[in-house]
Amino acid sequence: MSAKTAVLTDKAPKPLPGIYSQAIIANGVVYCSGAVALDPATGKLIEGDIKAHTHQCIKNLTHVLEAAGTNIDKVVKVNVFLANMDDFAEMNSVYTQYWGDVKPCRTCVAVKTLPLNTDVEIECVAVL
């Protein structure tokens, strides 16, 4: 069985103690927990709309990936969770600015409720 290593950076929101890690590295792969639009300094949701929230989610994931020793261009799979599928186009207008030239595989689903009643949560998997 291979070892797993937790990733922790203060440049992204702190995980709930004893509940989850920001990311886990195992077998050369980085598995990031879902990121919502929290400000790492305050631990509160940032102000703004779905576009601002999408930017913040990806910014938080970018910091976790960098702490793990990889970067956003090495992401191979993304899962996006929206509280309202009516936000799909606006979320995509921000999302497409990231991830490099070869976009990762992606799933996007609508869910009933997200943490802190926010509108978007994004998680990803990257290679080292």
Residue 85 tokens read as 């599928």
Q: Which fold has domain 4-127?
A: 60s Ribosomal Protein L30; Chain: A; (3.30.1330)
| Distances, alpha carbon 114 to alpha carbons 46, 99, 105, 117, in Å | 15, 23, 22, 5
Mean model confidence pLDDT for the chain: 96
The model carries a pTM of 0.95
The answer to whether residue 1 scores a pLDDT higher than 80 is no
Indicate the domain borders of the chain: 4-127
Instruction: Please write the tens of the pLDDT for every residue from 48-67.
Output: 999 999 999 999 999 999 99
